[in-house]
Structure 1
Amino acid sequence: MSCSDDQATPNDALDALDDAAAAAAFRRLVRLLQHRSDAANIDLMGLAGFCRNCLGDWIAEAGGMDKETGRTIVHGMPTADWKALHHTAATPEQLARMEASMAKNPHH
């Protein structure tokens, strides 16, 4: 799965959002994704074009760390442990939905 490196339009309301508020909202999102292990990454990719791994990769990029460290932050545990507990093989339908969803993401 490949994650989009979507960038916001400069000077929009999101850029004007206080960093503390943005961080609090992001932490709430990550905690919800940690709690909702029933929401599979392949389904998140198919619906929204991003998943837990994408968020971890974005953290890694923004924080100057390796991808595994970023993904561990998002999963709340090492990626291998999360996969062992929650990962199921994707169906052809899920893969097709993910590809169609990813095609809608902006690429920079």
Structure 2
Amino acid sequence: MDRQTQTELEAAAFRRLVAHLGARTDVQNIDLMILAGFCRNCLADWYAQAAAEKDIAISKDEAREFIYGEPFADWKKKHQAEATPEQMAAFEAARKKSHG
């Protein structure tokens, strides 16, 4: 497979992941962090970092809007629930596990 085709396939998979997460607003970021070690905010950070590597300035807010499909504050009001004590405990346990 040539590099251009590989890049196009990777981009298509990324777009599908973003669309999937956009459709699954019931899945909370904290749950993603607990189970997978990343969330929508991580994707936004990685997107902004990739842009910076190409000398393209993208703000944190712009990157989050790209990932969330709307301003983060709006998405958060509509879809983000307050983390439960159980979620916070699981998050801390997962964080300690991954950071040894």
Common topology (TM > 0.5): yes
Work out which of the residue numbers 33, 44, 54 in structure 1 matches 2:32.
Answer: 44
* 2:81 partner SS: coil
Equivalent pairs counted in the alignment come to 91
Work out which of the residue numbers 22, 25, 40 in structure 1 matches 2:13.
Answer: 25
Give unpaired runs (5+ residues) of structure 1.
Answer: 1-16
**RMSD of aligned C-alpha atoms?**
1.9
Please give the alpha-carbon distance, in whole angstroms, between the structure 2 residues aligned to 1:100 and 1:62.
29
Please give the alpha-carbon distance, in whole angstroms, between the structure 2 residues aligned to 1:26 and 1:104.
27
RCO higher in structure (CA 8 A, sep ≥6): 1
2:67 pairs with 1:74: yes
Please give the alpha-carbon distance, in whole angstroms, between the structure 1 residues aligned to 2:63 and 2:79.
18
Please list every run of at least 4 consecutive aligned residues from structure 1 whose deviation after the TM superposition is greater than 6 angstroms: none
Larger of the two Rg values belongs to structure? 2
TM-score for the superposition, normalised by structure 2:
0.83
TM-score for the superposition, normalised by structure 1:
0.77
